[in-house]
Amino acid sequence: MNSLYHTDYHQWLTQQVTLLRNHNFEQLDLENLLEDLELGIKQDVRQLENYLINLILHLLKMDYQTSVLRDSVASERVIKGWMDAIDNAKDAISRLIIKNHSLKQRVEDVLSESYPAGKKGAIREMNRHMPPKYPKLDNSSFPDTCPWSFDQMMSEDWYPVNGVSLYE
């Protein structure tokens, strides 16, 4: 059975399901089955983390653009593009949590672990496009912890536009 796990994963998995369904527990490939289940859980958490990093990165960029730069020409064009990325990340997170309800219990921990990477990405991306009249961003350009709650970030029509109108 162990070799089937490495040579034909789908067939191995089908076989494990059949063994479970027939209560043939003694024939299960427990070592690989447990490893596979643990990997599945870790993969879902990593996927949530990646989506949150992307969401945080774009929210931080939007927040900086609207609170510090406040360049209305760039704001409308650039920020609307970020809105698409933010909406896509929100949708991906929602779909993942709908399919894996237990992830909701881990959101706060994953959010706090994801924030530093999102912040680092926002600094890097903003510095690539920072107008020369502004200083380069660094770690102190954004808060040490996420300034928004998960629920706030996931609100359908919420964006950190800081009073900047996108529809003038």
The region of weakest confidence among 3-7, 99-103, 125-129 is: 3-7
Q: What pLDDT, on a 0 to 100 scale, did the predictor assign at position 10?
A: 86
In a domain, 121, yes or no: yes
* Residue 79: domain span: 43-154
Q: What pLDDT, on a 0 to 100 scale, did the predictor assign at position 88?
A: 96
Q: What is the DSSP string of 103-136?
A: GGGGHHHHHHHHHHHHHHHHHHHHHHH--TTSPP
- In tens, the pLDDT along 55-92 reads 999 999 999 988 887 765 466 677 788 899 999 999 99
Q: For 21-52, b where at least 16 C-beta lie within 10 A, e where not — what string?
A: eeeeeeeebeebbeeeeeeeeeebbeebbbbb
Percent over 70 (pLDDT), the chain: 93
Distance between CA atoms of residues 74 and 83, nearest Å: 14
In a domain, 18, yes or no: no
In a domain, 165, yes or no: no
Q: What pLDDT, on a 0 to 100 scale, did the predictor assign at position 72?
A: 53
In a domain, 135, yes or no: yes
Count of the separate structural domains present in the chain: 1
Q: What pLDDT, on a 0 to 100 scale, did the predictor assign at position 114?
A: 97
In a domain, 6, yes or no: no
In a domain, 60, yes or no: yes
Q: What pLDDT, on a 0 to 100 scale, did the predictor assign at position 71?
A: 64
In a domain, 119, yes or no: yes
pTM: 0.80
